[in-house]
């Protein structure tokens, strides 16, 4: 009988070693948790497909966008349905449905990203200013944020869009503005929390300059929640674009394919031809779902309490 150390799989009574888990960085841990979460993978897959379709729209779409050469086939009673040359049929304007859906993805991506970047950059600047300077700046910024938050987000977007008119830019500005207070409050709150933490106090005590503390410690640690919020904001933006279109405040340019407008245009024909509304509606829902799933999974993965 040899005295070799046992190398069999560990027995049930043994507590799992925790060193490897506790020792890894937050980002690595987050990445590991993300890869294991089926919801994250589903969300990421939807987002990936959406982005690829949006970017490669000219290659994927069978026709030119918004070409109305088949408009004559559309009658008040019916719109031609799926056929070999139009896989998903025509839309209510007489354009190829599939082409419009593909270019719609592109439009959603542009509007979503631009408005979110806008909301994020303005909101983050305000939040940083409030959290970083404190005092009067903080009071003024937070009062402004309170004012903006006192209007429900969609109505804020509506009141902006109603004033600056119908264009792609105004839709992006309207949705971006509606996201400003959310990002401002998020970043400021996150910074306030960080400022009270021991490592910032320690850095302060070491005489490190305030700007360096903010830029080097506080900001990087606030990135997680901000990224999560931005992902979720993309979902909101895509839905709000559609809502603005529904309210007649969308991009007025008929040459631009946009899911919300397709949905609205299909409304009158809904009873006879639900297909016209269902396609764009489902596109909006799935895309928003993708960003929501991915954002939520990201939130859970970045939460240090979730270490498992």
Partner 1 sequence: MLRFALRRLALLVPVLFGLSVLLFVWIRVLPGDPARSLLGERATPAGIKQIRELYGFDKPLLEQYWAYLGQLVRLDFGSSIRDGRPVTETFFEQFPATVELALFAILFAVVLGIPLGYAAARRRGEAVDGVVITGSLLGVVVPVFFLAILLKLVFAIQLDWFPTSSRQDPRIDATHITNFYVLDGLLTREFDASWDALVHLVLPAVALGTIPLAIIVRITRASVSEVLNEDYVRTADAKGLHPPVVRRRHVLRNAMLPVLTTIGLQVGLLLSGAVLTETVFSFNGIGSYLFDAISQRDYPVLQGYILFIALIYSLVNLAVDLGYGLFDPRVRVS
Partner 2 sequence: MTRPVGVRSEPLLEVEDLAVVFHGSRGDVEAVSEVSFSVRPGEHVALVGESGSGKSVTALAVMGLLPLRSTTVRGSIRYDGDELLDLDARSRRDLRGAEMAMIFQDPMTSLNPVVPIGVQIGEVLQRHKGLRKTEAREVSGDLLGRVGISDGKRRLKEYPHQLSGGMRQRVLIAIALACEPRLLIADEPTTALDVTIQAQILELLRELVSGTGTALVMITHDLGVVAGLCDEVHVMYSGRVVESAPRRSLFGEPRHPYTGGLLGSIPRLDSARGEPLTPIPGSPNDALPWTHSCAFAPRCGNRVDKCTVQTPALRGSEHVSRPGDEQALRCFNPLDTREAS
**Quick check: 263 binds partner 1 (CB under 8 A)?**
yes
Site mask for partner 2 (CB under 8 A), range 151-190, x = bound: ----------------------------------------
12 binds, among partner 2, partner 1, none (CB under 5 to 8 A by kind): partner 2
Q: Which stretch binds partner 2 (CB under 8 A): 14-22, 67-75, 243-251, 263-271?
A: 14-22
**Quick check: 248 binds partner 1 (CB under 8 A)?**
yes
Alpha carbon distance 114, 246 (integer Å): 20
- Tell me how many residues contact partner 2 (CB under 8 A): 14
Site for partner 1 in 150-169 (CB under 8 A): 150-155, 158-160, 162-165
Site for partner 2 in 279-308 (CB under 8 A): 308
Distances in whole angstroms, Cα of residue 240 to Cα of each of 178, 234, 258, 272, 282: 10, 10, 12, 26, 15
Q: Does the CA dihedral 180-227-106-42 come out positive or negative?
A: negative
In angstroms, what is the minimal distance from the CB of 17 to partner 2? 7
**Quick check: 75 binds partner 2 (CB under 8 A)?**
no
**Quick check: 6 binds partner 2 (CB under 8 A)?**
yes
**Quick check: 228 binds partner 1 (CB under 8 A)?**
no
**Quick check: 5 binds partner 2 (CB under 8 A)?**
yes
Number of H helices, E strands in the chain: 13, 0
Coil, helix or strand at residue 96: strand
In angstroms, what is the minimal distance from the CB of 25 to partner 2? 21
Nearest residue (CB) to partner 2, 18 versus 205 = 18
Alpha carbon distance 4, 153 (integer Å): 68
| Contacts by residues 130-135 (CB-CB < 8 Å, ≥ 24 positions apart) | 130/184, 130/188, 131/187, 131/188, 131/189, 131/190, 131/191, 131/192, 131/195, 131/214, 131/218, 132/191, 132/210, 132/214, 132/218
Which residues are at the interface with partner 2 (CB under 8 A)? 3, 5-6, 8, 10-18, 308
């Amino acid at each position: 009988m040899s005295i070799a150390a046992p190398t069999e799989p560990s027995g049930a009574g043994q507590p799992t070693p925790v060193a490897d888990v506790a020792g890894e960085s937050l980002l690595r841990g987050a990445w590991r948790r993300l890869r294991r979460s089926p919801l994250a993978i589903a969300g990421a897959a939807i987002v990936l497909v959406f982005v690829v379709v949006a970017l490669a729209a000219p290659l994927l779409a069978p026709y030119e966008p918004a070409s109305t050469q088949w408009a004559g086939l559309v009658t008040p009673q019916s719109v031609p349905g799926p056929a070999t040359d139009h896989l998903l049929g025509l839309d209510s304007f007489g354009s190829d449905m599939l082409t419009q859906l593909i270019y719609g993805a592109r439009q959603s991506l542009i509007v979503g990203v631009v408005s979110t970047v806008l909301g994020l950059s303005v909101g983050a600047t305000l939040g940083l200013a409030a959290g970083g300077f404190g005092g009067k700046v903080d009071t003024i910024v937070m009062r402004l944020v309170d004012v903006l938050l006192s209007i429900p987000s969609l109505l804020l977007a509506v009141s902006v869009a109603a004033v600056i008119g119908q264009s792609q830019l105004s839709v992006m500005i309207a949705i971006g503005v509606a996201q400003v207070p959310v990002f401002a409050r998020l970043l400021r709150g996150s910074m306030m929390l960080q400022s009270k933490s021991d490592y910032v106090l320690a850095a302060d005590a070491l005489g490190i300059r305030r700007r360096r503390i903010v830029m080097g410690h506080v900001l990087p640690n606030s990135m997680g929640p901000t990224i999560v919020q931005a992902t979720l904001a993309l979902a909101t933006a895509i839905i709000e674009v559609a809502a603005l279109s529904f309210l007649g405040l969308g991009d007025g340019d008929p040459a631009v394919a946009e899911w919300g407008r397709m949905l609205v245009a299909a409304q009158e024909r809904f009873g006879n031809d639900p297909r016209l509304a269902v396609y764009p509606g489902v596109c909006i829902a799935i895309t928003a779902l993708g960003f929501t799933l991915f954002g939520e999974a990201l939130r859970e993965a970045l939460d240090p309490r979730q270490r498992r």
